[in-house]
Amino acid sequence: MNDPATSNDRPATDAITGKPMPKPIPASTLVIFRDQPGQNAPDLLMVERSAKMVFAAGAAVFPGGRIDDADFEFARKLGHDDVDEYGARIAAIRETIEETGIAVAVEGDLDARRILDARAALHEGTVLADICNQFDWQLELEKLIPFTRWCPPFAEKRVFDTRFYMISHDDHGALATVDETENYNLFWGNAQSVLDRAEAGEVKIIFPTKRNLERLAQFGSFDEAVAHVKDHPSVMVSPNIEKRGEEVHLCIPEGIGYPITSEPMDAVQRGFKK
Task: Quick: pLDDT tens for 90-113.
Answer: 999 999 999 999 999 999 999 999
Rounded to whole angstroms, how far apart are CA atoms 17 and 62?
29
Tell whether the model's pLDDT for residue 158 goes beyond 90.
Answer: no
153-169 mean pLDDT: 86
Evaluate whether residue 243 is within a structural domain: no
Tell me the pTM.
0.89
Among 41, 188, 162, which Cα is nearest to 100's? 188
Question: Which amino acid appears at position 72 of this protein?
Answer: F
54 torsion bin: left (phi>0), alpha (psi -120 to 50), beta (else): alpha
Rounded to whole angstroms, how far apart are CA atoms 98 and 179?
7
Model pLDDT, residue 53: 47
Rounded to whole angstroms, how far apart are CA atoms 199 and 2?
39
Rounded to whole angstroms, how far apart are CA atoms 219 and 225?
6
Number of domains present in the structure of the chain: 1
Rounded to whole angstroms, how far apart are CA atoms 76 and 249?
42
Rounded to whole angstroms, how far apart are CA atoms 110 and 114?
6
Where does residue 20 rank: exposed (0-12), middle (13-18), buried (19+ CB within 10 A)?
exposed
CATH number at residue 63: 3.90.79.10
CA distances from 268 to 138, 139, 192, 237 (A): 41, 37, 18, 16
Evaluate whether residue 251 is within a structural domain: no
Between strands 262-264 and 247-251, the pairing is antiparallel
pLDDT band at 270 (very low <50, low <70, confident <90, very high): low
Write the pLDDT tens digit of every residue in 194-228.
999 999 999 999 999 999 999 999 999 999 999 99
Least confident of 29-33, 74-78, 148-152: 148-152
Evaluate whether residue 199 is within a structural domain: yes
More confident site: 20 or 140: 140
Rounded to whole angstroms, how far apart are CA atoms 144 and 126?
23
Evaluate whether residue 43 is within a structural domain: yes
51-69 mean pLDDT: 78
More confident site: 183 or 166: 166
- Inter-residue contact 71 to 94 (CB < 8 Å): yes
- DSSP summary character for residue 13: B
Rounded to whole angstroms, how far apart are CA atoms 144 and 146?
6
Evaluate whether residue 256 is within a structural domain: no
Where does residue 25 rank: exposed (0-12), middle (13-18), buried (19+ CB within 10 A)?
middle
* 232-243 residues labelled b (16+ CB within 10 A) or e (exposed): eebebbbbeeee
Where does residue 221 rank: exposed (0-12), middle (13-18), buried (19+ CB within 10 A)?
middle
Tell whether the model's pLDDT for residue 7 goes beyond 60.
Answer: no
Evaluate whether residue 253 is within a structural domain: no
Model pLDDT, residue 124: 95
CB atoms within 10 A of CB 22: 13
Quote the domain boundaries for residue 62. 4-238
